[in-house]
Chains A and B, each alone.
Chain A
Amino acid sequence: MPQLSLTVNGKSHAVEVEGRTLLVELLREKLGLTGTHIGCDTSQCGACVVHVDGRSIKSCTMLALQAEGASVTTIEGLAKPDGTLHPMQEMFREHHALQCGFCTPGMVMSAIDLVQMHPDGLTEHEIREGLEGNLCRCTGYHNIVKAIAAAWPLMHGKQVPAAAE
């Protein structure tokens, strides 16, 4: 079987995988990181979103071998070792942005990338558009949008520019 080396949440791994092993299967089944979910088989729901080299991608639509040499971050890699939550996780909690929680890991990973890609401000409209690749079947989205808006100033260390609101 082919060898694969990659870094996941700061830790390097050298593992054997099949050609057909998906990145999400590697994470969940080989590395035991079951926070990343699988919600569909059509690449539409976003429950499987992780960061590969800093970019949000759907780990159900990438072969593990395509991540050779890459640095992967999953939901498990966000909180500090002492348990302090990432500001996005904290805001999801604060704003009650989840009900069953199934979509939440993917939502949080997409939301962090979205905030990082908008250093100059982020409107509600941009948040809603930016979540196109993530489906939630229970919260109704409003609180997710609120949580992301609230995380923006925390992540960028400044207030949202007036024009962007």
Chain B
Amino acid sequence: MYEFTYHKPTSIADAVKLLGADADAKALAGGQTFIPVLKQRLNKPSAVIDLAGLGLSGIRAEGNRVVIGAMTTHHAIATSPDIAKAIPGLTTMAGWIGDTQVRHRGTMGGSLANNDPTACYPAAVLALNATIRTDKRSIAADDYFQGMFTTALEPGELITEIEFPLPVEKSAYAKFRNPASRYAMVGVFVAKSSAGVRVAITGAAQNGVFRHKEMEEALGKSWSPDAVAKIKTSPEALNSDIHGSAEYRAHLITVMAKRAVAAAG
């Protein structure tokens, strides 16, 4: 690992200032992606700004929304009775990330900022029509994800909270895990709320998470596994690697979508 200066600011304003003052400064959340990257010397920050002192961890109700702090860990989300009641699909999703030790440190904000094409949170946030709040503005999920490891965040912009509109009538996540890394080979998050039916797919596409409009339409007409059973996805823009071909991933999308709808009830 290259050496860097470590900072642990105690206010969002100070963190933003530190990040703004130095183009090579980088934010650190749970470190479950960033530290392995640093260990491989794939990144050479001059300064690392630890976000743990900003008070950004916690889950609260705010009118007809649930608001989750960016530094809230996967473990805290997976074990929150409030989340289990309001958005059960989110509970399942968070509980299936990596392993217990990764979930004890990794955060929702870190996962969303990273936007790994095989990460789970992007699917949940997109399907649940959530809004990403930053130190500067609010960004709708539909505008936030912009391709593999690419988001609407500007350099130095910090995610502070994520807000999920309630009520969510139905929600579920089905994931086919890569047995070695435990990331999603294909993950499908289905949700039904006043915003209609939304289906988000992660793990499959080269460009990361996307909404499956054809499945959304079919489920809007009839919410049942049969409604998506015959919907095929073109393998054209899907990933092909040693774990599975694009055709295999296309097939998995239908299988996982059926399972997610069945799980949502």
Contacts and interface: CB of A to CB of B under 8 A. Distances in A.
Interface of A: 2, 18-20, 22, 41-44, 46, 49, 55-58, 60-63, 65-66, 68, 110, 113-114, 117, 130, 132-134
B100 A114 contact: yes
16 contacts: A2-B6, A19-B3, A20-B1, A22-B35, A41-B36, A44-B180, A46-B99, A49-B101, A61-B35, A61-B102, A62-B35, A63-B50, A65-B6, A65-B8, A114-B100, A133-B98
Given A68-B8, A133-B100, A18 B3 contact: yes
Which of A56, A66, A110 has the most B CB atoms < 10 Å from its CB? A66
B6 A43 contact: no
Contacts, number: 78
Interface in B69-105: 75, 98-102, 104-105
- Please provide the 8 A-B residue pairs with the shortest distance between their CB atoms, ordered closest to farther: A133-B99, A19-B6, A132-B99, A20-B1, A133-B101, A58-B101, A55-B104, A61-B35
A133 B102 contact: yes
B52 A66 contact: yes
B6 A61 contact: no
B102 A20 contact: no
B4 interface: yes
Which of A19, A46, A49 has the most B CB atoms < 10 Å from its CB? A19
Contacts of B6: 2, 19, 63, 65
A151 to B, nearest CB: 17
Given A20-B38, A110-B100, A114-B100, A61 B105 contact: yes
A42 B75 CA distance: 20
Contacts of B64: none
A152 B195 CA distance: 46
Contacts of B31: 61-63, 66
B8 to A, nearest CB: 7
A2 B35 CA distance: 19
A20 B50 contact: no
Interface of B: 1-6, 8, 28, 31-32, 35-36, 38-40, 48, 50, 52, 75, 98-102, 104-105, 180-182
Q: Decide if the interface of chain B is mainly helix, strand, loop or mixed.
A: mixed
Contact of A61 (B3, B4, B32, B100): B32
B30 to A, nearest CB: 9
B36 A113 contact: no
Contacts of B48: 19, 63
Nearest to B40: A41
A148 B8 CA distance: 38
Nearest to A52: B104
A59 B82 CA distance: 30
Contacts of B50: 63, 65-66
Contact of B39 (A19, A41, A56, A133): A41
Contact of A56 (B3, B28, B101): B101
A56 B104 CA distance: 7
Contact of A42 (B8, B28, B36): B36
A44 B35 CA distance: 13
Contact of B105 (A18, A57, A110, A117): A57
A42 B38 CA distance: 11
Contacts of A41: 36, 39-40
A141 to B, nearest CB: 14
Contacts of B52: 66
